[in-house]
Amino acid sequence: MYDGAMGPEFYNAVFTMHATIMIFFVVMPILVGCFGNFLIPLMIGARDMAFPVLNMLSFWVGAVSGVVMLAGFFVPGGHAAGGWTSYAPLTAVTQYTGVNWGQNLWIISLIILGISSLMGSINYITTIINMRAPGMTFFRLPLVIWSLFIVAILLLLALPVLTSALAMLLFDRTLGTSFFLPAGGGEPLLWQHLFWFFGHPEVYILILPGMGIASDVLAVFARKPIFGYRAMAYSMIAIAFLSWIVWGHHMFQSGMNPALGTGFMISTMVIAVPSAIKTFNWLGTLWGGSIRFTTPMLHALAFVSMFVIGGLSGIFMASTPVDIFIHDTYFIVAHIHYVVFGGSVFAIFAAISYWFPKLFGRMMNEPLGKIHFWLTFLAFNGTFFPMHILGVGGHMRRIYNPLQYEFLQPLQPINVFITVSALVLGAAQLVLVVNFFWSLFAGRKAERNPWQANTLEWTAPSPPPHGNWGDTLPVVYGGPYEYSPPGVSEDYLPQTQSRVPHLAAAH
Amino acid sequence: MMSWLPENVSTYGGEVDFLFYLIYYITGATFLLVTVTMLTFLIVYRRREGRRATYSHGNTTLEIIWTIVPAIILVVLSFMSQASWARIKGHAPPGDVEVQVTSKQFNWEMTYPGPDGKFGTGDDVTLENQLHVPVGKVVRVHLRSKDVIHSFFLPNLRLKQDTVPGREIPAWFQATRAGKYEIPCAELCGFGHSGMKGWLYVHPADEYEKWVKERWPSS
């Protein structure tokens, strides 16, 4: 046994909590919770969300969930160590991992989070359907609002499945039921079916808001209408529908009937098509543009190119025979990080730097922003690209010490390189933290519309006061991406301005 | 990247590797196409004084092309994959050699039926972490688990199959070259997951005969 500073039990808890916290307490709360709540009313022209009290409840219930999750680090036996996918029976019986209350708290925390998410998603859906400003039709919504709308529907339908499965797992652990335990007549694969029935829509919950953010930022800084707006909206709807029938691709090697594997392979191949449509439309948006390389734009461009790698690597595991080899290897780890870090997290960086002036009334520092971008972009690829090679070499994931295997010994220098890159990647985030707080207090004061963008949030003061606008709410005359339109001297046309002058004057 | 694949010593491993290379070339070409196009646009259409962006909302013909072309490629890939998948996981050929592999935290138990060819009889032999098979013969593996889910992984034979408590899952392989290959567990199974491994010994025919004679001297 390798004599490291960290034992194998703790290592298992660390990667379990890394994924759990990043997915449920970083990416989802920032993209959906934070930007959803901020952007939806501002971008549809509403004063607030439909149910402000429900919204507050959702927030505080979510906070309780976070506290319960963190408490797991301090109980005897340590935190949950069964992976974020928490496969039963490993997680259903305490003796299998040696973790008792850590696993219980993990389950209870996510059940509470499910309740929080349910309240939030009902609120989002109601707000977007009912509270749009006069003239704001569905096909005049910015794509980021489309993405949040679709995500809210996915959350509403997917999270309760996880919540139910977690309750069953908790009953197996504490009340002596046998939903997932074969000794009592249960079925271990039932957990995987339930978990991935939630889990695959969940992956799209993480990436769709990023797609919306990237679309908005690309249009603004290419000074061009988004290419194929309707194709962009329809492809997100298609992803939302298809995301319900692809969960089995996580289970090709699980012992599930191989004939089912074929069905899930075809649906999985098909779900790549709307993603391809989106990629080509982003390229179309850049074509003929007048591109400004601001920090938000750099992050949005990184989103597109990294999402391309993450999407293409997904085709490997969609193919059932190839998946036999790369399943449960680092190839999967590379894929998920190209989608969730290369995709969602770069979208978060784009969103922070793009909406910072609206959020706080000050601009972020551009040179610091660019330093942070380049360090992150290079270190990200240094960390995650070599994982493809490890995976192709057969390197299993969740392995405490690869040197225990002869066939993995030649791959060890790659592991070392990844570790160094990951440390640089982590350190690079300090630049963002410094920039964030420095700009918060000392950044240049932002005007109302510093990026010369069209969408409604830029007609409100920076930062927006309670109720967002003064006495009158905005009225919408056109689409969100009217950049460089003919017959207008500026290269943008806000949604509140009509191209026909007397219409605008009437208000 | 291709040279990183472990040596293939399986009859069907070539099919897996072929599909891997095929997808590698298709996705590699797509990646280059998208990246070169993107970089070209970023350079050509960077902001310059006096030039205004093109006012365009899209192009229906292009939308149709870039919907249908990827769809065709992906559906063809599905059908090509299906044939190999059915051969590897669907219908196993009759086994020349049968072995029961039972996983437990953190070992593989390999049970051989002995000369009578039946499991559960007195001449069964169980060895820990040692799988002895003859080269060139179809080996049928009956996978079981005593506690949690593990995954029976033979990197060099391009086989991976989870073992699930309460189920018996069949798998098969046919090795093309004698040698000693590792059998790691590929599914997180507890604190001893790392290091849970066995060895596959693929013997030449005469060596396998010798091993059988030593193991079951009475027969």
β-partners of residue B112 are B125
Instruction: Say yes or no for a CB contact (<8 Å) between A276 and B66.
Output: yes
Q: Are A484 and B53 in contact (CB under 8 A)?
A: yes
pLDDT on residue B50: 87
pLDDT for residue A1 is more than 70: no
- Who contacts B217 (Cβ-Cβ below 8 Å, separation ≥6)? none
Name residue, tokens 């690309």: A218
Cβ(A252)–Cβ(B49) below 8 Å: no
What is the per-residue pLDDT for A504? 47
pTM of the predicted protein model: 0.95
Chain B contact for A267, CB < 8 A? no
Residue B207 has a pLDDT of: 96
DSSP 8-state code for residue B51: -
Looking at residue A5, what is its pLDDT? Answer: 83
Tokens coding A216? 């908005």
Report the pLDDT value the prediction gives residue B18, as an integer from 0 to 100.
96
Chain A residues 472-501 within an 8 A CB cutoff of chain B: 483-486, 491
Nearest CA distance, A151 vs chain B (angstrom): 23
Tens-place pLDDT, residues A462-476: 999 999 998 899 999
Find chain B residues with C-beta within 8 A of A394's C-beta: 5-6, 153, 155
Judging by DSSP bridges, how do beta strands B107-112 and B97-104 pair with one another?
Answer: antiparallel
Judge residue A167's burial from the number of C-beta atoms within 10 Å of its C-beta, 0-12 exposed, 13-18 middle, 19 or more buried.
Answer: middle
Distance (Å) from the alpha carbon of A215 to chain B's nearest alpha carbon: 13
Distance CA A409, CA A397 (A): 15
Q: Which residues contact residue B125 at a Cβ distance below 8 angstroms, ignoring those fewer than 6 apart? A: B111, B112, B114, B215, B216
Contacts of A348 (CB under 8 A, 6+ apart): A27, A30, A31, A210
d(CA A422, CA A429): 11
Residue A507: what pLDDT?
A: 45
Q: List, in sequence order, every residue forming a beta bridge with B203; answer none if it has no partner.
A: B134
Instruction: Give the strands of the sheet with B138-145, arranged side by side.
Output: B125-128, B107-112, B97-104, B138-145, B169-174
| Residue in B closest to A305 by C-alpha | B35
Suggest the residue from A220, A304, A320 to mutate for an interface test with chain B (most B CBs closer than 10 A): A320
Say yes or no for a CB contact (<8 Å) between B16 and A324: yes
Answer yes or no: do B20 and A290 touch at CB < 8 A: no
Q: Is A84 left (phi over 0), alpha (psi -120 to 50) or beta?
A: alpha
Interface of A with B in 274-293 (CB under 8 A): 276-277, 279-281, 283-284, 286-293
Pairing state between β B125-128 and B169-174 = unpaired
Q: What is the pLDDT of residue A505?
A: 46
Which residues from chain B sit within 8 angstroms of residue A488, using beta carbons?
none
Using a CB–CB cutoff of 8 Å, tell me whether B149 touches chain A: yes
| DSSP characters over A424-483 | HHHHHHHHHHHHHHHHHHHSPBP-S-TT---SGGGGS-SS--TTSSSSS-----S-TT-B
Query: What is the spatial distance between Cα A214 and Cα A338, in angstroms, rounded to a whole number?
Result: 15
B14 close to A (CB below 8 A): no
Answer positive or negative: Cα dihedral of A234, A236, A240, A245: positive
Mean pLDDT over residues A295-308, rounded? 98
Q: In a mutagenesis test of the B interface, which of A291, A301, A454 is the best target, namely the one with the most B β-carbons within 10 Å?
A: A291
Q: Spell B89-126 as b/e; 16+ CB within 10 A means b.
A: beebeebebbbbbbbbbbbbbbbbbbeeeeeeeeeeee
Q: B133-149: per-residue pLDDT in tens?
A: 999 999 999 999 999 99
What is the separation of C-alpha B83 from the centre of its chain, rounded to a whole number of angstroms?
Answer: 15
A294 touches chain B (CB under 8 A): no
Interface of A with B in 27-86 (CB under 8 A): 81-83
Residues of chain B with C-beta less than 8 angstroms from the C-beta of A319: 19, 23, 77-78, 81
**Whole-number pLDDT of residue B92:** 83
* H or E stretch covering B110: strand B107-112
Model ipTM value: 0.95
CB contacts of A276 in chain B (<8 Å) are: 66-67, 70
Residue A427 structure tokens: 């350190």
| Least confident span in A147-156, A255-264, A311-320, A492-501 | A492-501
Q: Residue A29: pLDDT band by 50, 70, 90 thresholds?
A: very high
* Average pLDDT, integer, range A244-270: 95
**Chain B interface test: which of A285, A317, A324 (most B C-beta within 10 Å):** A324
Q: Å from A264 to nearest chain B CA?
A: 10
Residue A3: the pLDDT is 65
Q: Among A11, A224, A315, which would you mutate to test the B interface (most chain B Cβ atoms within 10 Å of its Cβ)? A: A315
Asked if residues A382 and A421 have their Cβ atoms less than 8 Å apart, the reply is yes
Question: Rounded distance, CA A51 to CA A60, Å?
Answer: 15
Q: What is the pLDDT of residue A502?
A: 52
Buried b (16+ CB within 10 A) or exposed e, A387-396: bbbbbbbbbb
Band of pLDDT at residue B3, cut at 50, 70 and 90: confident
Nearest to A325 among B16, B58, B71 (CB): B16
CB-CB under 8 Å, B19 with A272: no
Contacts of A280 in chain B (CB under 8 A): 62, 66
Instruction: Specify the pLDDT at position A500.
Output: 67
Cα→Cα distances B141→A97, A448, A461, B211, Å: 27, 69, 69, 19
CA dist., res. B112 & res. B126, Å (int): 6
Mean pLDDT, chain A, whole residue set: 95
- Whether the CB of A389 is below 8 Å from some CB of chain B: the reply is yes
Q: Which residues of chain B make contact with A270, given a CB cutoff of 8 A?
A: 71, 74-75
